[in-house]
Structure 1
């Protein structure tokens, strides 16, 4: 099973030039080194994980992969709801039933669009900070089940809503629960899967976001021609599919063995480990590793709070985590929810706009799969920087095209912008989208990792709230009507983000958590991370 400890072998060189009892209290504490696992079984289990290849891990832990993917279905629900609303804004029947007439066309006003879309980012803020409490009290499994039941209940409000105030209420209540899944899914995956699978399953979070958006686009594309309330009631009802599947299978899911050990339920932890691994795996060494790691982390994390993330030893790591996650919003990801609406504003016919919206996310799906291969052969930093650079260039080209003379009578320009937006989404989903989650987990200090991720998620969601308010006013025909010129706005923000990332995001590929602790504690410059030697060994 995965552990946040590093290699069990002492790294003598890295200790020669350091205080052997402490480095700002992060690497060593009380003479105990992070990564110095005690007990023969625990050392064997840790060494086995470090030596395990990706394909060996796939063959050995297929059920762990399956249950990790199962818990990630919550992320699909999280992405489905806001994407659904973005597509409904371009649905004729939804516009007529919930909007008003402007210059001969039915539209949803910018303030109401903002209110409807506010549930998701607000939910991420609340869920990020508070999901960890029931997860620790009742376990990952029960918390997940309770959240799924609440999601199903709040869908009733959306389904029967026939006025904007009622629909906004349903979206806000639903969003508060949907925000918890972004914490539950990665936490569960990190506790049931071996280290060899952690990179792919971490980036899988991004694929779940894409799948949720893609499914929403596909469903609305199939119902948008209906001339009754089922044009929007049908897509809302489709959200019940996920709770139905999850609640049927959830009783058979194993609880996190890490949580069970922390609760003193070691016998139950053994049962959970046996469910997660193939039959030939001896789970006793893994249990010993979890027990020993829990003992060490308990000593190191005792008394830690959210404020620990802002102490000198962790401040840089928190900055990087917050930065890479926030850049998702700054570089324009919230345009994904408006893709179809953007295509209609750009002049494409409604049917073609919906088709482009589905193709838009299908390209993103492929991009995320490509990122898995890139992560094996290339460093996180180079993928992230190159991808972000592409986003900046594409956004400015889209904006410049919008300035062409006689734009309204030149449909070729609209198609060019739509095509460039497809390329933008592919670039985002092989770089900034999935690699963000990998960097986020790898730069976070072990003892405050969950708190660092929570802070990064909350800050990213706060940026999302700003964009949720701003975008309707920027793109709506009765407001700024910026059309493709919105590329100047996001291109400029992404340009500043690129400069920050170049100087602040280090290379973390192939590094154990212990090595990263050492390098951050030594305050290495960003460019030194890639070539720094630990005990004379390069990553």
Structure 2
């Protein structure tokens, strides 16, 4: 096999026989060689060898953009005059959507995500990642009709419940596929990219609303609903050509198809027989460790620590205050900004998140997972307390400087979130789960986050609405307090998994390696 300058020292000659015809001892040796290649491969080598894997991973993440777009769109509509007039009621000379209806509508998405995330685990194991994704996208195209033609809050609520059920599947499908098709050198980038997709969806939603909020007819909110049809159209055109996850094919005993899938995901410069051998060896190891493959196995003795990490790092996003992002425009307007300034600030709010998520890739590659997550959470906690303290200033509403400072701090908070715990959480819960139960572990973590999100969805409208608690920035005390408890847990429980293959992680968790020893642990 001819080596290019970029990939010199990466390829290792492999056996020409089919992998399932090779003796176990030879498979083990080829797996060892493949592991060495993974460790030696630099980021640029991985980009050169696996551009197709990167492209298909990005393609499967388009569903997450829809997942980020819908709830952000709904939260932004609460501050849109036309939507308030057509769906709200008059209060002190202006129209608002009542807190109970905000709660009900906001709960549609997280309730659906709980059921959708858990439900996706079964078809993903029965029929694969590719066709499960395709069916869900068709369902998404259908529920958008409900939103577009809704004339009442009750009709819109039905659409949000059904839509959330389908959208919840994407947060399971995308990280699972990304973690299974790219090599070690790209794994942190493509799994953390999931967070960028959420930001893109939120940014597009706020951008669309900022562009339509001056329209006085129903098109002010109908047009943003209709724009969502763009994503299903793109995905359904490309999905027939997408390769299936080779990990799923291996677990189904379809070795030749798995090898063909690996060939489609990489360039001809890599020997995929070695890669396949490494995957088969990892699958065999997990079988011997009895990791299982059911939801019950996610909580078994061999997996419980890994499941705890996955659930906790994902729910910490909610406890730290991320659900305030969905109410950004509404928060800014209640803080005292004009409608135009509120929408402009909310767009800038998410634009900063986009930039910092891209910057997070540099940090993830350089510093790993644990230090970024822990340091980021500490900074987020401090900012939340500062926002709460500012809101306690006397004569608050007549001091625009304090109002702007509070809004700017919230923008900085979002930037830090998307630089640290936002993207890193996806990397951690993909890496912490065993390959056999990765789909189930991610589904359980997503469902757990959605359950906590339901609580926040119920609470936030009552905390923020002027006809209820009217806390405004005092919510910073609430989320700052919750973040303190999360910081303590993360310090003692989040390990460093940078640069480890799935087989190495299996061995380290099986041996009970202590959290702070993960980074320097040597595997014999």
Tell me if both proteins adopt one fold, taking TM over 0.5 as the criterion: yes
Alignment partner of 1:59 out of 48, 70, 88: 48
The answer to whether structure 1 residue 84 and structure 2 residue 107 are counterparts is no
Distance in 1 separating the partners of 2:245 and 2:297:
26
Cα deviation, residue 457, structure 1? 1.5
Cα offset for 1:36?
A: 8.5
Matching residue of 2:175:
186
Retained in 1: the 8 A contact 2:78–2:96?
Answer: yes
Deviation of 1:262 after TM superposition, in Å, equals 3.6
* 1:437 corresponds to 2:426: yes
Partner of 2:146: 157
Name stretches of at least 5 consecutive residues in structure 1 with no aligned partner: 1-34
CA distance in 1, matches of 2:486, 2:98: 31
Q: Answer whether contact 2:120 2:443 (CA < 8 A) is retained.
A: no
- Cα distance in 2 for partners of 1:36, 1:432 equals 41
> For each residue in 1:282-305, what CA deviation from the matched residue of structure 2 results, as whole angstroms up to 9, or x when unmatched?
434334444454455455447553
Give the equivalent residue in structure 1 for 2:343.
Answer: 354
Contact 1:123 1:180 in 2 (8 A): no
Contact map agreement 1:68 1:188 (CA 8 A) in 2: yes
Q: 1:407 to 1:37 in 2, by over 3 A?
A: farther
1:395 Cα offset (Å): 0.7
Q: Measured at CA, do residues 311 and 36 of structure 1 come closer, stay the same or move farther in structure 2, by a change above 3 Å?
A: farther
Q: Which residue of 1 aligns with 2:91?
A: 102
Say whether 1:321 aligns with 2:272. no
Distance 1:467 1:145, change over 3 A: same
1:65-464 to structure 2, matched below 5 A, reads 65-298=54-287, 300-301=289-290, 303-464=292-453
The correspondence of residues 475-494 of structure 1 with structure 2, limited to 5 A, is: 475-494=464-483
Q: Is the 8 A contact 2:291 2:303 kept in 1?
A: no
> Structure 1's 492 and 303: CA in aligned 2 closer, same or farther, altered over 3 A?
closer
State how far apart, in whole Å, the 2-side matches of 1:443 and 1:261 are: 20
Kept in 1, the 8 Å contact 2:309–2:432? The answer is yes
Distance 1:178 1:284 in 2: 36
Query: Counterparts of 1:268 and 1:476 in 2: how far apart (Å)?
Result: 55
* SS across alignment from 1:405: coil
Specify which of 463, 482, 499 is matched with residue 474 of structure 1: 463
**Contact 1:128 1:455 (8 Å CA) reproduced:** yes
Aligned counterparts of 2:300 and 2:233: Cα–Cα separation in 1: 44
SS class of match (2:95): strand
Residue by residue over 1:475-525, the C-alpha shift from the partner in whole angstroms, topping out at 9 and shown as x without a partner, is 011111111111111111111211222222223333444444444444444
Give yes or no for the alignment of 1:47 onto 2:36: yes
**Distance in 1 between the 2:56 and 2:495 partners?**
32
Q: Is the 8 A contact 1:37 1:43 kept in 2?
A: no
* Aligned-partner Cα distance in 2 for 1:426–1:140: 32
1:180 Cα offset (Å):
0.3
- Whether the aligned pair in 1 keeps the contact of 2:356 and 2:419 (CA below 8 Å) is yes
Q: For the residues of structure 2 that align with 1:466 and 1:256, how far apart are their CA atoms?
A: 35
**3-state secondary structure, aligned to 1:106:** strand
Shift of the 516–262 alpha-carbon distance from structure 1 to 2, 3 Å rule, reads closer
Instruction: Measure, in 2, the Cα distance between the counterparts of 1:65 and 1:118.
Output: 34
Unaligned ranges ≥5, structure 2: 1-23
RMSD: 2.1
Q: TM-score, normalised by structure 1?
A: 0.88
Structure 1 pair 196–179 and aligned structure 2 pair: CA distance change class (3 A)? same
**What secondary structure sits across from 1:70 in the alignment?**
helix
Does the 8 A contact of 1:37 with 1:293 survive in 2?
A: no
Conservation of the 8 A alpha-carbon contact between 1:301 and 1:447 = no
Measure how far apart 1:322 and its partner are: 1.4
Partner secondary structure for residue 118 of structure 1: helix
- Closer/same/farther in 2, CA of residues 365 and 36 from structure 1, 3 Å limit: farther
Contact 1:125 1:457 in 2 (8 A): yes
What's the TM-score, normalizing by structure 2? 0.91
| Aligned with residue 504 of structure 1, among 476, 489, 493 | 493
